[in-house]
Amino acid sequence: MPLNAPHETNLFYANRTLNLGHRGASHYAPENTMPAFRLAAEMGADGVELDAQRSKDGHIVVIHEVELSHTTNGSGLVTDKPLAELRELDAGASFSPEFAGTPIPTLEEVFSALGPVLLFNIELKVWTYDDRGLVAEVIRLIEDFNMQDRVILSSFNPFALKRAYQVNPKIKRGFLWRPKLPFFFIRRKWLRFLAREDMYHPDWESVTPALIIKEHHRGHLLNTWTCDDPEVMRRLIKMGVDSIMTNQPDVLKQALDE
């Protein structure tokens, strides 16, 4: 835990390892949908990680892939479709017929239903310098729902996090990192200084005790992703990571309760 943690009001500073459902309880329900988020809450998760993109007409929708065909019965880019068209798509049937008809949720819908129940790690899905208003609109919703102390904004893109700091520096930011990233300009780790992050989010394979100590001394939380192996979970908990993102929050809860 960072040295400045006692002065923080954000609930991610919990002095224990938090359980975050990766795109909800996405091992059991379609990722980034209301059923997955509700199930994560029922399984005892402290919060969820979700992905935010901007529709063509400026609404914030919760979906990971930029191409709709990966998880829905649609095609084309999320950012090229208006909300009304996106809401007509089926985001559940490809996972299981049980979830047929499940729509893509909006961030507003998620906050309305589960804002008082869960913490939220919101990944800003933007891969260019220009976020096309995504960051400002996400922050507007956070402020409208008074979620500042229940939310962190994360991204692989340091320019998106810089923009978040400019819009509202009080909302905590986490810099995502993985050694092999497909987008060249953000693979340069020295660009991290732009993010002015409060938290570091490496993949679990990159986590070492020395890295945790280093980030804590820098005043950062260390939140890691995406781990579904109970033995690795136990090892990460013992190391002292601040949160673990998992597709199976029930498995992580059992490891945390041991």
**Could you report the per-residue pLDDT of 1-16, keeping only the tens digit for each?**
665 565 789 999 999 9
Average pLDDT, integer, range 167-180: 92
Question: Are residues 31 and 64 in contact, defined by beta-carbon separation less than 8 angstroms?
Answer: yes
| 228 to 8, 10, 153, 190, 253: CA distances (angstroms) | 29, 26, 23, 30, 11
Question: Are residues 194 and 161 in contact, defined by beta-carbon separation less than 8 angstroms?
Answer: yes
pLDDT value at residue 178 = 83
Average pLDDT, integer, range 196-217: 97
What's the pLDDT band for 211 if we cut at 50, 70, 90? very high
Q: CA-based angle 136:132:139, to the nearest 5?
A: 15
Average pLDDT, integer, range 220-249: 99
Domains and CATH numbers, the chain: 18-257 (3.20.20.190)
Of 59, 64, 216, 220, the active-site residue reads 64
Which tokens hold the place of 185? 């300009």
220 has catalytic annotation: no
Amino acid, single-letter form, for residue 211: L
145: left (phi over 0), alpha (psi -120 to 50) or beta: alpha
pLDDT value at residue 191 = 75
pLDDT value at residue 8 = 84
pLDDT value at residue 5 = 63
The sign one gets for the Cα dihedral 152, 157, 162, 166 is: negative
3-class DSSP assignment, residue 69 = helix
φ and ψ at residue 54, rounded to 5 degrees: -105, 130
Residue 182 CA to residue 199 CA, distance in Å, equals 22
